[in-house]
Structures are given as structure tokens and as C-alpha cells.
Amino acid sequence: MTNNVKKVAILTAGGLAPCLSSAIAALIERYTEVAPEVEIICYVGGYKGLLEGKSITVTPEMRKNIAVLYKHGGSPIGNSRVKLTNIKDCVKRGLVQEGQDPQKVAADQLVKDGVDVLHTIGGDDTNTAAADLAAFLKTNNYALTVVGLPKTIDNDVYPIRQSLGAWTAAEEGAKYFANVVGEHNANPRMLIVHEVMGRNCGYLTAATAAEYRKLLDKMEFVPGMGLSRERKEIHAVYIPELAFDVVKEAERLRKIMDEVDNVNIFVSEGAGVETIMKEMEARGEEIPRDAFGHAKLDAINPGAWFAKQFAKMLGAEKTLVQKSGYYSRAAASNPADKELIIKCADKAVDCAMQGIGGVIGEDENKNNELRACEFERIKGGKPFDTDQAWFNDLLAAIGQPKGEKVEVKH
């Protein structure tokens, strides 16, 4: 390990995930362990803070208490959705002046701050932005290493086997629904739709459903007075990667409604989005989009659309749509995620000290070796593998036909 690194910077960006606070702590702990002389700063508000030159210096007192971050969710240094290659948006936000290149502004700020290594913690948008910045730095002879950590509860980053925070998000989403499902006995013929985050990938919806059923396995019931597993069971799981016949599914679920007086559906927020957007455009409505060009799913509201489709066909008297995303993504890391985060952070620091850039993760194309995956290989939108045994066991357990695979548009 070489030791020519004098100053490093950390930033978090994109949406929240249950790993950001822990990843910051793990990076700072590792540097303190192997190179305590290295100065550390944190840019406030992700790439926005980098463009504005706003940063926090990590003091000895902060290092001493940094383990406290493991107990918290969110990001203490703040996030933002800023894309450095979206010049128009950066100008509109007042982050750069007309005629300026945000990448050059960012690079110049890093040089001004004396940064040798930039650690980015974020999802595919954050790390593709980091990739663009790394390429710009290399092309323009800036001597700086960029090392990313893969954060996304969607778990959809190529070629990373497991993204940080996804395990915790599934576990927390299951806990959330364990309370929500209690609403089934507040009204007769109740339809409950649990909308789970996941734009193009159904991993989190499937994993949350699997975690919830683990909770069910531990519960005790009194069927004779209505407290039965059947009423708290998941009755359908809909994800972007699998098509389903609405009419046939309605027939199946109607039988369940008639028998147990309620139906519980898990749906990925990305399922059915193309259909919903076509309906909106046909009505002359504009599709709201973010700086990265993604449709804003909270405006499209897939959960409400699914509820509307099924409520009439199932003869539901009451429909409830609940979203666990903001609850689950702001949680503190669970033990499994914390272990993975620390392992990845240790590798990130080791690579940084050797001048090796990339995104740290278990590389699916290299026998799941933990390494710095080359930036040019990093991209989002990796579909959930619906052939995995645990997922097929889940569908079989709830009596749902698997459906045909579909190609998800990104």
C-alpha cells in the first residue's frame, strides 16, 4: 500500500438508502486505522456541495465518535440529485454560470481543496456521474482518484452482486407492512396495496415479500376468531420483469377475497409504469421528470393505479394504498448490511491508497471477487433474476402463476 494520499473527500448523492451513514463511518474508521494522517473532508449535499465548494472537515473529535453514525439512517452530510453532465439543469439551479462546464467546475474545486481521492457513495446515477467525472479528470490530466461505493435499495447495478442497503430496505419494508396489514380487519372486503420502491427492478419488492413471510412464519394465530395467517398473507407480487394477465389474476384474487374477506398485494413502483404513462399522455398530461430524465414515480403513482384496476374486479368495499419506501430507505443498516459496508469500505480505502479507481463491489463477472469495478462497466437497470429458487418458492407458496418474462425498458 502506497501512502501518497494526503487528503480525501467523501460525498453521498441520489436517493437515501440504509447504508449512507454507515458507509461514511466505515470509510473514516478505515482511514483512521491505516492512515490517520490523511485529512478528510465531506462535501455537503452531494455534487451540489462539490460545485458550490461547501464541505465539512472531519475533526479528531468527529473521528472519535464516528461509530455513532452506524446507529442512524439517512446521510449526515446530505444528498442531492445533480448530474454534472446536465449543464442546463446545473445552470438553472445556479450551481454554475452560463458557459461553464460543471465537470470542470467540480474538478477545479477538487484541485482547489487539495483532494487526492474522492469517494462517492450512491447508486447508478451517482456512480455514472463519478465515471464521467473520472474520465474528465483523466482526459484533462487532473491527478485525482475516484472510488465509489454502490448504494441502491433496488440492487440493480451492473456488475455488482449486492448493493449496499438493499438487505436492510427489504427487512424494514417487511416490518412496515406487518403493521399496515392489520388494517384488513378495519373494513369488510379490504384491498391493501403495498407499493415498494424499484423503478426498473423488482428485487426489492420480491425481497420485501420474502422477508415479510419470514415474519409470518414466527407469528402465532387464533383462526377461529379471525386471526389467521390467510388474512395476513401476501396474495400477489407484481414486478416489472414479469407480465401477468389482469383478468385471470382478478379471478384468482376474487376467490381469495370471497373466502378470507381481504386481499394483500405487493407491487413494485416500476410495474405497469409504461402503461400508466401512455394513459397520462393520451389525456394530454405531461410526465414530470428529474435531472436524470427519469419519470417521477410519485407523480405517476403506480400503487393507486393498481388499486383502481383491481378494486372493482374484486368487489372491494375499501382500498388502502401504502408505500414503504421512505420508511425503509431511511433506516440504519442492519447487521448483514453493516458487515458488507465495512468490507467494501475497507477495500475502497485500500484501492484509494494505491491509486486504483472504480466502484467497489463483488464483481459478478469475476467470480464475485471484491474489487474496484471499472467505471465504464458500471450502469443501472440490472433486472431482477426471476429464476432464483427463493423467488419461485415465494410465488408457489402464495399460489401465484409466475407469468411471462418481459424486457424492462430503462
Burial of 274 from C-beta contacts in 10 A (0-12 / 13-18 / 19+): middle
Q: Sheet harboring 318-323: ordered strands across?
A: 236-238, 262-268, 190-196, 318-323
Q: 261 — alpha (psi -120 to 50), left (phi > 0) or beta?
A: left
Active site residues: 154
Cα–Cα dist 87/56, whole Å: 26
Q: Which of 371, 375, 353 is nearest to 363 (CA)?
A: 371
Cα–Cα dist 252/73, whole Å: 39
Whether the CA torsion 201, 14, 347, 366 is positive or negative: it is positive
Q: Under 8 Å CB-to-CB from 392, ≥6 apart: which residues?
A: 386, 402
Virtual torsion, Cα 370, 344, 197, 157, nearest 10 deg: -40
Grid coordinates of 43: 462535501
